[in-house]
C-alpha cells in the first residue's frame, strides 16, 4: 500500500517568480564585489583568463599563465573563458567568469525541479485516493514535490561555498542533475531524443571532470534498467546514450591530437592517469570521511531521504525511489574508493539526495517535521545573530573581545561602512522574521513547509556574510595585495619571472600584478619568485635549484596567512 495520504490543500505550489527570486538571492551574493579567492577559485579563474587572452593551444590544453595542468578537463573553463570574452569589458574578467557559475547553478536547480516534477506526477508516486475525494491532481502533487526538492537543494550546507566558486564542480553538479532529468525522461517515455540528452550530459561530464563519475552513473542506470526489466530503456542507454557520450568526449582528445601532436600523448596519458588514480579499494578512512563530513554536508536532506526509503520500502522499484538511488549508490561507491579525501567529491550526491528527500516530505510525521523546523530556527537564527553582533563589534569596537578576534584574523584590515550592504542585510533579516512567524503562527499544511525554514535560514546567513563581512573575507582570501607589491618591485612588466608558486598564486599574480611568468622550459629570467613556509628560514636550498647569483629585493605574504611566504629575487650576475 502507498504510504501517502494527502488532501489537495497540501499541494499548493510556490509562485514561479518566488522560486526565481530565491535562486537569485542564493547565487548572486558571494559572486559580486570580490576577487578570486585562494586555491581552487583562483586556479579556475586563472585557467579561464589564460584561455580568454591566449591562443588555441591554451583552449585545448588547460594551463595557468604557462603552468600546464594536464589533469584538468576543459569544458568548464571554456564556458568561463567565453563569458570573459563576451562580458569582460563590461564586468571585469573575474565577475565575467562567474557568469558561467550563475548559468551552471540555474541549470542544476531547474534540472532538479523538473526531474522531481516528472517523477512526482507518475501514477506510482501518487497519494492514496480519499474516501470522499479531494486528493491532489498528479500535476499539482508533482509540482509541490518539485518545490520541496528545490528548497532542499538551496538548503544544502555543503553546496553553499562550492556553488559560489569559479570551479568545474559547479558545472559537474549541474550536469549530474541534468543527466538525472534525461534519465527520468528515458525511463518514462522511451524517446530517442531523451536518450540523446542523457548521452550529451554524460559526454559533457567527461569533459568537465573526467570519465569516472559518468561511467559510474551510466552503470547505475543500466543496472536499474535490468532490475526493472526495461528493455527499451536499456537499448536507449547502450545504443544511444553511451555512443554519444563517447563521441563527445573523444572529440576533445582527437582535436588535441590533430592540432597539438607534440604534446597530445603526454597530456592524454596524464589525464588518463589522474582518472585511474581515483579508482582504488574502499578503506575505513574513506568511510570515516564520508560519514564525518556527509552528516553536515547533506543537511537537511538526509533525514528526509532516509525516511523516504523507509516509507517506500514496499515499493523499492518505483521510479521516483529507484532512479535517485541509481545515481546515489554508484556515486557513493566512487567516493569510498577514491584515494582523495576532499569535500567536493560529495557534491555529485546532492541532486539525487534532494530528489529522494522530496519524496520523504509527504510521509514524514508532523512531530519529526516540527523537530527539524525548531532545530533550523534555533541554529540558524543564533548563527545570524552572531554574524550581526560580530559585525557590530568589527565596526564599532564593542564588544571588545570579538572585535580584537576579528582584527587578529585579518591584521591590517580597515573596516568601511557601506549603506547598500547594510540595507540588503536588514531586508534579509526582516524577511527571515516574517517567514519564521508565518511558519510558527499559521502552521501551514503544504508539503514544502518542512524545509522552508532550513533553506531560508541558510540563505539568510549567507547573505549576511556576503554583505556585512564580504570586505573582511575578501581581504583574507585574496592575493591582490601581494600581487601589487610584487609588481611594484619589478623594474619592467616585460621582464619574465621564474617561480615555484602554485597555480592559484600564479593566476592572481599574473592578473592583478601583470607578472609575466616564464615558460616551464625557460630558465633564464632576471627575477625569481619563491614560495615557501615562513618557518623555513634557510632559503639557500631552494635557491640552489636555480643557477645564478640572486639578491632578495622583497619578502611578503598575505596578512591573514601566518605560514605562507613569498620572496622575490633579482639576478645580479649579468
pLDDT in tens, 294-328: 999 998 899 999 999 999 988 888 999 999 999 99
Asked if pLDDT for residue 118 goes beyond 60, the answer is yes
Work out the pLDDT band at 393, boundaries 50, 70, 90.
very high
Grid coordinates representing 373 are 523546523
**Does residue 331 sit in the same domain as residue 188?**
yes
**Does residue 543 sit in the same domain as residue 396?**
no
Decide which of 334, 363, 392 is a domain's last residue: 363
- Alpha-carbon distance of 12 to 352, in angstroms, equals 23
Work out the pLDDT band at 562, boundaries 50, 70, 90.
confident
**Does residue 416 sit in the same domain as residue 553?**
no
Q: In the predicted model, what is the mean pLDDT of residues 482-492?
A: 88
Residue 92, Ramachandran bin (φ over 0: left; ψ between -120 and 50: alpha; else beta): left
Q: In the predicted model, what is the mean pLDDT of residues 257-281?
A: 83
Closest C-alpha to 466, from 25, 153, 20? 25
**Does residue 311 sit in the same domain as residue 375?**
no
Q: How many domains does the chain have?
A: 3
Distances from the Cα of 337 to the Cα of 159, 227, 261, 280, 283, angstroms: 22, 24, 34, 5, 7
- Alpha-carbon distance of 558 to 537, in angstroms, equals 18
Tell me, what's the pLDDT at 445?
Answer: 73
Work out the pLDDT band at 81, boundaries 50, 70, 90.
very high
**Does residue 299 sit in the same domain as residue 281?**
yes
- Alpha-carbon distance of 432 to 456, in angstroms, equals 7
CA angle 118/329/275 to nearest 5° reads 110
353 found inside a domain: yes
- Alpha-carbon distance of 540 to 566, in angstroms, equals 14
Tell me, what's the pLDDT at 136?
Answer: 82
Compute the mean pLDDT over every residue in the chain, rounded to the nearest whole number.
90
- Alpha-carbon distance of 509 to 507, in angstroms, equals 6
pLDDT, tens digit, 9 for 90 and up, residues 273-290: 889 888 888 888 888 999
484 found inside a domain: yes
- Residue scoring higher pLDDT (538 or 88): 88
**Does residue 355 sit in the same domain as residue 389?**
no
pLDDT, tens digit, 9 for 90 and up, residues 525-546: 889 999 887 666 556 677 777 7
Q: Which domain holds residue 398?
A: 367-477
Residue for cell digits 616585460? 494
Among the listed ranges 161-170, 342-351, 415-424, 428-437, which one has the minimum average pLDDT value? 415-424
Decide: 6 and 442 in contact? Cβ < 8 Å: no
- Alpha-carbon distance of 94 to 34, in angstroms, equals 8
Asked if pLDDT for residue 242 goes beyond 60, the answer is yes
Distances from the Cα of 169 to the Cα of 298, 330, 418, 463, 514, angstroms: 16, 18, 32, 22, 28
**Does residue 471 sit in the same domain as residue 492?**
no
494 found inside a domain: yes
**Does residue 349 sit in the same domain as residue 253?**
yes
Decide which of 307, 334, 363 is a domain's last residue: 363
Asked if pLDDT for residue 1 goes beyond 60, the answer is no
**Does residue 338 sit in the same domain as residue 398?**
no
CB neighbour class for 55 (10 Å; exposed up to 12, middle 13-18, buried from 19): exposed
Q: In the predicted model, what is the mean pLDDT of residues 113-128?
A: 93
Q: Percent of the chain scored above 70 by pLDDT?
A: 96
Q: Which long-range contacts (CB under 8 A, 24 or more apart) does 498-502 make?
A: 498/523, 498/525, 498/527, 498/528, 498/529, 498/546, 499/528, 499/529, 499/530, 499/531, 500/529, 500/530, 500/531, 500/542, 501/529, 501/530, 501/531, 501/566, 502/43, 502/531
* Residues 302, 308, 314, 315, Cα dihedral to 10°: -110
**Does residue 550 sit in the same domain as residue 537?**
yes
Which residues, other chains included, contact 327 with Cβ-Cβ below 8 Å and sequence gap of 6+?
A: 176, 179, 180, 183, 217, 220, 221, 348, 351, 352
Asked if pLDDT for residue 516 goes beyond 70, the answer is yes
**Does residue 432 sit in the same domain as residue 333?**
no
Decide: 178 and 201 in contact? Cβ < 8 Å: yes
Asked if pLDDT for residue 240 goes beyond 60, the answer is yes
- Alpha-carbon distance of 413 to 403, in angstroms, equals 12
CB neighbour class for 443 (10 Å; exposed up to 12, middle 13-18, buried from 19): exposed
- Paired with 564 in beta bridges are 533
**Does residue 308 sit in the same domain as residue 375?**
no
What CATH code is carried by the domain that includes residue 519? Answer: 3.40.190
Highest mean pLDDT of the ranges 87-96, 308-317, 514-523 = 87-96
Tell me, what's the pLDDT at 374?
Answer: 86
312 found inside a domain: yes
Decide: 328 and 346 in contact? Cβ < 8 Å: no
290 found inside a domain: yes
Q: Percent of the chain scored above 90 by pLDDT?
A: 62
Tell me, what's the pLDDT at 521?
Answer: 60
- Alpha-carbon distance of 148 to 14, in angstroms, equals 9
Asked if pLDDT for residue 201 goes beyond 90, the answer is yes
Tell me, what's the pLDDT at 160?
Answer: 93
Tell me, what's the pLDDT at 538?
Answer: 58
Closest C-alpha to 497, from 396, 566, 427, 395? 566
6 found inside a domain: no
Among the listed ranges 16-30, 292-306, 547-561, which one has the minimum average pLDDT value? 547-561
pLDDT, tens digit, 9 for 90 and up, residues 7-18: 777 788 788 888
Reported as type and span, the H/E element at residue 465 is helix 449-468
Among the listed ranges 8-17, 247-256, 417-426, which one has the minimum average pLDDT value? 8-17
Which residues, other chains included, contact 213 with Cβ-Cβ below 8 Å and sequence gap of 6+?
A: 172, 176, 205, 331, 334, 348
Decide: 358 and 149 in contact? Cβ < 8 Å: yes
Reported as type and span, the H/E element at residue 207 is helix 192-209
| Prediction pTM value | 0.95
Q: Is the peptide bond before 399 cis (omega within 30 degrees of 0)?
A: yes
- Alpha-carbon distance of 152 to 149, in angstroms, equals 5
- Residue scoring higher pLDDT (547 or 83): 83
- Alpha-carbon distance of 83 to 100, in angstroms, equals 7
Closest C-alpha to 55, from 204, 259, 250? 259
527 found inside a domain: yes
* Residues 96, 98, 104, 107, Cα dihedral to 10°: -60
Reported as type and span, the H/E element at residue 63 is strand 63-64
**Exposure of 301 in the CB half-sphere (CA atoms within 13 A):** 29
Decide which of 433, 457, 477 is a domain's last residue: 477
Work out the pLDDT band at 522, boundaries 50, 70, 90.
low
322 found inside a domain: yes
Work out the pLDDT band at 128, boundaries 50, 70, 90.
confident
Cα dihedral across residues 136, 140, 146, 152: positive or negative: negative
Reported as type and span, the H/E element at residue 569 is strand 564-571
Amino acid at each position: 500500500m502507498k504510504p501517502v495520504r494527502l488532501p489537495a490543500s497540501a499541494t499548493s505550489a510556490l509562485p514561479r517568480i518566488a522560486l526565481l527570486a530565491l535562486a537569485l538571492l542564493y547565487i548572486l551574493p558571494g559572486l559580486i564585489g570580490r576577487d578570486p579567492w585562494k586555491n581552487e577559485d583562483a586556479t579556475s579563474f586563472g585557467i579561464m583568463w589564460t584561455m580568454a587572452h591566449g591562443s588555441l593551444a591554451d583552449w585545448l590544453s588547460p594551463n595557468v599563465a604557462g603552468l600546464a595542468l594536464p589533469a584538468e578537463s576543459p569544458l568548464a573553463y571554456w564556458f568561463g573563458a567565453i563569458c570573459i570574452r563576451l562580458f569582460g569589458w563590461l564586468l571585469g574578467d573575474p565577475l565575467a567568469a562567474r557568469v558561467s557559475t550563475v548559468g551552471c547553478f540555474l541549470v542544476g536547480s531547474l534540472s532538479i525541479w523538473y526531474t522531481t516534477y516528472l517523477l512526482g506526477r507518475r501514477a506510482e508516486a501518487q497519494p492514496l485516493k480519499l474516501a470522499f475525494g479531494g486528493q491532489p491532481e498528479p500535476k499539482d502533487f508533482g509540482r509541490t514535490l518539485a518545490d520541496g526538492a528545490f528548497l532542499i537543494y538551496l538548503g544544502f550546507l555543503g553546496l553553499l561555498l562550492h556553488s559560489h566558486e569559479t570551479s568545474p564542480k559547479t558545472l559537474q553538479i549541474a550536469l549530474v542533475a541534468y543527466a538525472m532529468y534525461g534519465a527520468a525522461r528515458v525511463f518514462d517515455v522511451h524517446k530517442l531524443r531523451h536518450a540523446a540528452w542523457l548521452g550529451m550530459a554524460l559526454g559533457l561530464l567527461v569533459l568537465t571532470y573526467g570519465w569516472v563519475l559518468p561511467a559510474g552513473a551510466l552503470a547505475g542506470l543500466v543496472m536499474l534498467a535490468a532490475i526493472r526489466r526495461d528493455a527499451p530503456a536499456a537499448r536507449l542507454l547502450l545504443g544511444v546514450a553511451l555512443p554519444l557520450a563517447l563521441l563527445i568526449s573523444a572529440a576533445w582528445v582527437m582535436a588535441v591530437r590533430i592540432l597539438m601532436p607534440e604534446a597530445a600523448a603526454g597530456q592524454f596519458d596524464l589525464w588518463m592517469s589522474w582518472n585511474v588514480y581515483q579508482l582504488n579499494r574502499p578503506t575505513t578512512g574513506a568511510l570515516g570521511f564520508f560519514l564525518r563530513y556527509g552528516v553536515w554536508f547533506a543537511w537537511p536532506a538526509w533525514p528526509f531521504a532516509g525516511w523516504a526509503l523507509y516509507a517506500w520500502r514496499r515499493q523499492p522499484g518505483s521510479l521516483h525511489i529507484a532512479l535517485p538511488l541509481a545515481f546515489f549508490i554508484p556515486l557513493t561507491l566512487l567516493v569510498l574508493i577514491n584515494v582523495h579525501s576532499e569535500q567536493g567529491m560529495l557534491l555529485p550526491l546532492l541532486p539525487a539526495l534532494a530528489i529522494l528527500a522530496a519524496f520523504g516530505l509527504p510521509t514524514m510525521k508532523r512531530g519529526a517535521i516540527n523537530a527539524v523546523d525548531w532545530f533550523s530556527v534555533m541554529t540558524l537564527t543564533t548563527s545570524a545573530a552572531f554574524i550581526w553582533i560580530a559585525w557590530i563589534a568589527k565596526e564599532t569596537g564593542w564588544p571588545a573581545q570579538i572585535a580584537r578576534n576579528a582584527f587578529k584574523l585579518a591584521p591590517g584590515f580597515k573596516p568601511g561602512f557601506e549603506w547598500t550592504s547594510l540595507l540588503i542585510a536588514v531586508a534579509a533579516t526582516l524577511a527571515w522574521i516574517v517567514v519564521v512567524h508565518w511558519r510558527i503562527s499559521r502552521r501551514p499544511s503544504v508539503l514544502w513547509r518542512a524545509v522552508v525554514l532550513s533553506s531560508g535560514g541558510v540563505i539568510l546567513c549567507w547573505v549576511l556574510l556576503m554583505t556585512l563581512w564580504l570586505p573582511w573575507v575578501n581581504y583574507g582570501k585574496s592575493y591582490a595585495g601581494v600581487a601589487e607589491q610584487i609588481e611594484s618591485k619589478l623594474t619592467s612588466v616585460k621582464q619574465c619571472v621564474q617561480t615555484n608558486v602554485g597555480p592559484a598564486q600564479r593566476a592572481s599574480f599574473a592578473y592583478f600584478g601583470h607578472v609575466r611568468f616564464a615558460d616551464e622550459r625557460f630558465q633564464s629570467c632576471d627575477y625569481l619568485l619563491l614560495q615557501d613556509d615562513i618557518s623555513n628560514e634557510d632559503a639557500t636550498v631552494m635557491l640552489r635549484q636555480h643557477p645564478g647569483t640572486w639578491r632578495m629585493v622583497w619578502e611578503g605574504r598575505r596578512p591573514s596567512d601566518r605560514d605562507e611566504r613569498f620572496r622575490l629575487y633579482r639576478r645580479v650576475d649579468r
